[in-house]
Amino acid sequence: MLPVLIHLTFESLWSQLLLYAVALGVVGFIAFNGWRGTQGAVTAKGSRAEVKLADRVQRALLYGGGGAALAWFGLMYALPASAFPGGKGEGIPVHTYGVLLATGFFCAASVAARLAREEWRKLEWVDGKGFVDTEGPRRREQVLDLGFWVLVGGLVGSRVLFIIVNWKDYAKDLGSIFSLGGGLVFYGGLIGAAGAAYAFARVNGMDFLRLADLAIPTVSLGQALGRLGCFSAGCCWGGPAGSHAPLAVRFPGAGMARDLFGRLTGTGSTAYSSQATDARYVIEATGEVVHQAAPGAVRISEWVTQHGTTLPVHPTQLFESMGQTLLFVGLLYLRRYRRFHGQIFSLWLMAYAVLRSTVELFRGDAERGTLHGLLAGSAPSLAQWVPLEAWYNISTSQFISLCMFTFGATLMYQRTRRLGGEAGLGPTPSPA
Residue 47 has pLDDT above 90, yes or no: no
Residue 36 has pLDDT above 80, yes or no: yes
Question: Best-predicted range by mean pLDDT among 34-43, 198-207, 349-358, 423-432?
Answer: 349-358
CB 94 within 8 A of CB 8: yes
Residue 394 has pLDDT above 70, yes or no: yes
State the average pLDDT over residues 149-178: 72
DSSP state of 281: E
Cα–Cα distances in angstroms (integers) from residue 38 to residues 55, 57, 126, 137, 145, in the given order: 7, 9, 22, 13, 10
Percent residues over pLDDT 70 in the chain: 90
DSSP state of 335: G
Confidence of residue 72 (pLDDT cuts 50, 70, 90): very high
Higher confidence at residue 207 or residue 369?
Answer: 207
E-strand ranges in 225-286 read 281-283
Question: Best-predicted range by mean pLDDT among 36-50, 171-185, 237-251?
Answer: 237-251
Distance CA 168, CA 366 (A): 14
Per-residue pLDDT tens digits for 87-119: 999 888 888 998 999 999 999 999 999 999 999
Predicted pLDDT at 205 = 86
Per-residue pLDDT tens digits for 273-309: 999 999 999 998 899 988 888 888 999 999 999 999 9
Q: Give the residues across from 238 on adjacent strands.
A: 363
Distance CA 170, CA 29 (A): 38
Percent residues over pLDDT 90 in the chain: 50
Predicted pLDDT at 26 = 94
The DSSP string of 290-305 is ESS--TTEEEHHHHHH
Distance CA 30, CA 68 (A): 9
Single-letter code of the amino acid located at 310: T
Distance CA 285, CA 122 (A): 63
Higher confidence at residue 67 or residue 387?
Answer: 67
Residue 354 has pLDDT above 90, yes or no: yes
Cα–Cα distances in angstroms (integers) from residue 143 to residues 25, 85, 137, 225, 325, in the given order: 24, 38, 10, 21, 22
Single-letter code of the amino acid located at 380: P
Higher confidence at residue 166 or residue 399?
Answer: 399
Confidence of residue 46 (pLDDT cuts 50, 70, 90): low
DSSP state of 406: H
> Nearest CA to 48 among 137, 123, 121, 112?
137
Higher confidence at residue 128 or residue 100?
Answer: 100
Q: What b/e string do you get for 210-222 counting C-beta neighbours within 10 Å, with b at 16 or more?
A: bbbbbbbbbbbbb
Confidence of residue 214 (pLDDT cuts 50, 70, 90): very high
State the average pLDDT over residues 166-194: 67
Confidence of residue 320 (pLDDT cuts 50, 70, 90): very high
Predicted pLDDT at 430 = 39
Predicted pLDDT at 212 = 94
Higher confidence at residue 326 or residue 183?
Answer: 326
Predicted pLDDT at 103 = 94
Residue 181 has pLDDT above 80, yes or no: no
Higher confidence at residue 426 or residue 16?
Answer: 16
Predicted pLDDT at 432 = 34
Domain ranges of the chain: 1-39+49-90, 94-238+317-422, 240-313
Residue 428 has pLDDT above 60, yes or no: no
Predicted pLDDT at 425 = 44
SS (H, E, C) 190-201: HHHHHHHHHHHH
SS (H, E, C) 123-187: EEEECCCEEEECCHHHHHHHHHHHHHHHHHHHHHHHHHHHHHHCHHHHCCCHHHHHCCCCCCCHH
State the average pLDDT over residues 246-269: 88
Per-residue pLDDT tens digits for 19-30: 999 999 999 999
Confidence of residue 173 (pLDDT cuts 50, 70, 90): low
CB 303 within 8 A of CB 279: no
Predicted pLDDT at 64 = 93
Other C-beta atoms lying within 10 Å of the C-beta of residue 198: 15
Residue 221 has pLDDT above 80, yes or no: yes
Which run of H or E residues covers position 328?
Answer: helix 316-334
Residue 421 has pLDDT above 80, yes or no: no
State the average pLDDT over residues 139-150: 89
Predicted pLDDT at 209 = 95
CB 290 within 8 A of CB 297: yes
Mean pLDDT, the chain, rounded, equals: 86
Residue 182 has pLDDT above 70, yes or no: no
Distance CA 227, CA 100 (A): 8
Residue 319 has pLDDT above 70, yes or no: yes
Predicted pLDDT at 190 = 87
State the average pLDDT over residues 354-374: 84
Q: How many helices (H) and strands (E) does the chain have?
A: 14, 7
